[in-house]
Amino acid sequence: MKSETRSLDLLNLALDPAAPLSLQLQLRQKLVDAIHCGVLRPDQRLPSSRHLATRIGVSRNTVSLTYDALLAEGHLVSRPRSGIFIAPDVAAGRIGTRQRGGEPASALATRLPSVAEETGFRCPQHWHRYPFPFIDGRVDAELTPVVEWREALRLAGSRHELQQWNQDAGDGDDPALTEEIRGKVLPMRGIQAGADELLMALSCRHALQLAGELLVRRGTPVVLEQPADPEFERRMRERHADISTLDPTLRQPLPPGAVVVGSGRRAFAAGSPRPRQLLDALAAADAVLIEHDVPPDVPGAERVAPALRAFDQDGRVIHVASLSPVVACGEPPAVLVAASAFIERARQLRRNRGTTLPWLVQRSWAYFIGMGHYSAALVRAGRRLAERRTALRDALNHYLHEFVAIDTTPGASAYDVSVPAGTDARELARHAAGIGVLVEPLQLGDGRQVLRMGVTGIAAAQIREGVRTLSRLVRGDLAPATRRIEDDLPPLRSKALRRAMNGAHWLYNTVYGEPCTLEIRADGTLAGTAGYAGEDCDSGHWWIEDDRWYRQWRQWAYGEAAGYALVLDGDQLRLYGEDGLLADTAVLTRPGRARPRD
C-alpha cells in the first residue's frame, strides 16, 4: 500500500472533460509522458485502477481500459499477485543525442525571445574532470581554503548566531560584514565609505543589473568599455538604451547625461589618461560612471592603481566589485559603493526583486574576513597563481609563439591568446574540448578573436602538456577526419580492454554540441550526464564480447545495444564501429587519479 501511495502522489494528473480527447486517451497520454520523462521509472509499481480512479475523479472503467491498452503496447507489465508495473525495458522516445531544436514548441516557448545562435560561452558542469581546464575563474580545490571556511561557517551557524536569524534586519545588510568590508576590503582599493554608502549583492553581475535598472531608461546614452559584460549589454539593449563604445583616450566628449560602464584597471592603467581627466569628462557631460572593478587574481603580482571611486568628489562614480573568487566557496558576493541616496534606492529595488544576500552567507563572510582568513588566503593563492601564470606564459611562448600573440591585464591570472588568421575561435575551442583542453572563446571590441586561458583551475604541472596538446590542434596535427581502424593503433583487447574501462570516465560532446560525461562503473553499470547543468541523465550497462566494448542505455540511443572497438592513445579514446570507421572520440579520465600538486 505504501508503494501505491507514493505512485498516487506522482500521478496527481489533471484531466479536462471539455477537451477534444476522451478522458481515457488523456490519461493514456499523460501516463506515457510520465514514463518517457522519467517521472515513472522502470519496475515502479502503479496504483490499482480503483485507487487511481478515486484520485483523479474518473470511473474505474476508464482507468482499467487505459491500463489494458498500455499493457498491450508493452509500456506496462502485469505480475501475478503483485500488481501492474512500469515495464523494465521500455524504450523512451527521447534520446541523449537528439537535436533538441526539433521538439514541439509549447505555449510558454512561443513567448520566449528568439535566439538565432547561442553566442555566450558555457562551461561544462564537470569542468574539473577535464585533463587541462584553462577556464578563468573556475577554482580548483587546491586554492580553496577549506579549513578556514569550515571555521567561518561553524561560527556563523553557532547557537548564538542562529538565535539572531529571526530578528528582522529590514532591508539592511549584516552590520558585521559591512564593517569588515569598510575596514579591510575597500581600503585595499583606496576607498573610504560610510555604512550607508555600500550594499551587498549576490554577485558582480547582480550589482551591475541593480545599477543599470536605476540609471538607464529608454534613450539613455550608455557608453561601454570593451570588452563589455555581454549580459549587461543585452539587458541595456532590452531597455532601449543608446549604446556606444568608450574611447579610452577621451578625445571625443561623452554624450550628455551618459552612463559610462567600464573598469578603471583596464582602460585607464599606466599610459592612459589620469583619473582626474576622466572625472572632468564626466562632469563636463553631467555623466556618471559605473566602475566595474575586477579584483586581482594574483594579488601583489603587479601594482594595481586605486579605484576611480577613490578620486571621486562629486558622487559620479558607482563602484561595483566582487570579493575575490580565488578564495571563495562558489561565486563570491559583490559590493556596490555609491552615494547614500543611490544606495537607498538600490536597497529598495533589491528588496522588491527578492535578491537580498542570505544572512548566513553574509555572516560567514564576516567571520572569514574578520579572522584574517581572507587576506592570508589571497597571499597564498597569489603565490601559486603567479607561478602558474609564468608556466602558462612560458609554454605559450615555447609551443605557439609563431602562431599566436598573448595579452593580459594587471593582476589577472589569464592570458588572451589571439588565434591564427582565418580561425574561428569558437570552433577551435569546441575541438579543443574534444581532446581535453577547455578554453573560453571571446571576441574583443576591436574584432579580434581570442582564447582566454586562465590558471585558476589547473595545476602548474599540467599546464605545459595542456598547451602542447592545444598546439597540436592549432598546427593541424589533430585535425578531425574520418579514419579507419586499420590506420590507427591496435585496439584494446581482452584484459587490457577491461582494465582500461573499469572505473573510467569519458568526456565528450553530444551531436547537439553539449558536454557529456559517462561513468563506466566496475560493476557493469553505466551512468550518463549530458548538458551544461547535467539536466539530461540516463543509466545502462556495459559488457565486453569478442574484444569489443558494448553498451546499452535505458533511454539514450533508443535503448539499443551497440558495440565498438576501442583505441586508447594517451587519454584520447577513439571508438570504431562494426564497419571499421571512426564513430566517436572521447577523453578518458579516472576520478581517483591523483593530480600533480604545485
Q: Do the beta carbons of residue 301 and residue 382 sit within 8 Å?
A: yes
pLDDT of amino acid 297 = 56
Position 594, amino acid: A
pLDDT of amino acid 5 = 42
The three-class DSSP label of residue 4 is helix
Lowest mean pLDDT among 31-45, 56-70, 195-209, 468-482: 468-482
Query: What's CA 595's distance to the chain center, in Å?
Result: 23
Domain ranges for the chain, please list them.
2-86, 127-136+382-474, 146-371, 485-589
Q: Which residues pair with 290 in a beta bridge?
A: 261, 318
**Model-level pTM?**
0.72
CATH number of 2-86: 1.10.10.10
Q: Which letter, b or e, does each residue of 355-392 get, where b requires 16 or more Cβ atoms within 10 Å of its Cβ?
A: ebbebebbbbbbbbbbeebbeebbeebbebbbebbebb
* Average pLDDT score over residue span 340-358: 93
- The more confident residue out of 450 and 211 is 211
Average pLDDT, whole number, for the chain?
A: 82
Q: How far is CA 67 from CA 12, 89, 291, in A?
A: 16, 17, 64
* Average pLDDT score over residue span 95-121: 48
Position 352, amino acid: N
Position 561, amino acid: A
DSSP at 213: H
The three-class DSSP label of residue 336 is strand
Position 71, amino acid: L
In this predicted structure, the answer to whether residue 333 has a pLDDT above a threshold of 90 is: yes
CATH of 127-136+382-474, one of 3.40.640.10, 3.90.1150.10, 3.40.190.10, 2.40.100.10: 3.90.1150.10
Q: Which residues pair with 443 in a beta bridge?
A: 449
Instruction: Tell me the C-alpha distance between 445 and 442, whole Å.
Output: 10
Q: Do the beta carbons of residue 314 and residue 339 sit within 8 Å?
A: no
User: Confidence class of residue 145 from pLDDT cuts 50, 70 and 90?
Assistant: very high
Residue 19's φ and ψ, nearest 5 degrees, are -75, 155
User: Confidence class of residue 348 from pLDDT cuts 50, 70 and 90?
Assistant: very high
CATH of 485-589, one of 1.20.210.10, 3.40.50.720, 1.10.760.10, 2.40.128.640: 2.40.128.640
In this predicted structure, the answer to whether residue 64 has a pLDDT above a threshold of 50 is: yes
pLDDT of amino acid 582 = 85
User: Confidence class of residue 38 from pLDDT cuts 50, 70 and 90?
Assistant: low
Lowest mean pLDDT among 102-111, 289-298, 527-536: 102-111
In this predicted structure, the answer to whether residue 571 has a pLDDT above a threshold of 50 is: yes
The three-class DSSP label of residue 585 is strand
pLDDT of amino acid 98 = 39
Instruction: Tell me the C-alpha distance between 43 and 77, whole Å.
Output: 9
- The more confident residue out of 586 and 422 is 586
CATH number of 146-371: 3.40.640.10
Where helices occur in 105-186 by DSSP H, the ranges are 146-156, 159-162, 175-180
Lowest mean pLDDT among 118-127, 314-323, 324-333, 462-471: 118-127
* Average pLDDT score over residue span 348-360: 91
pLDDT of amino acid 8 = 45
Q: Which residue, chain included where needed, has cell 547535467?
A: 534
Instruction: Tell me the C-alpha distance between 526 and 514, whole Å.
Output: 19
In this predicted structure, the answer to whether residue 139 has a pLDDT above a threshold of 60 is: yes
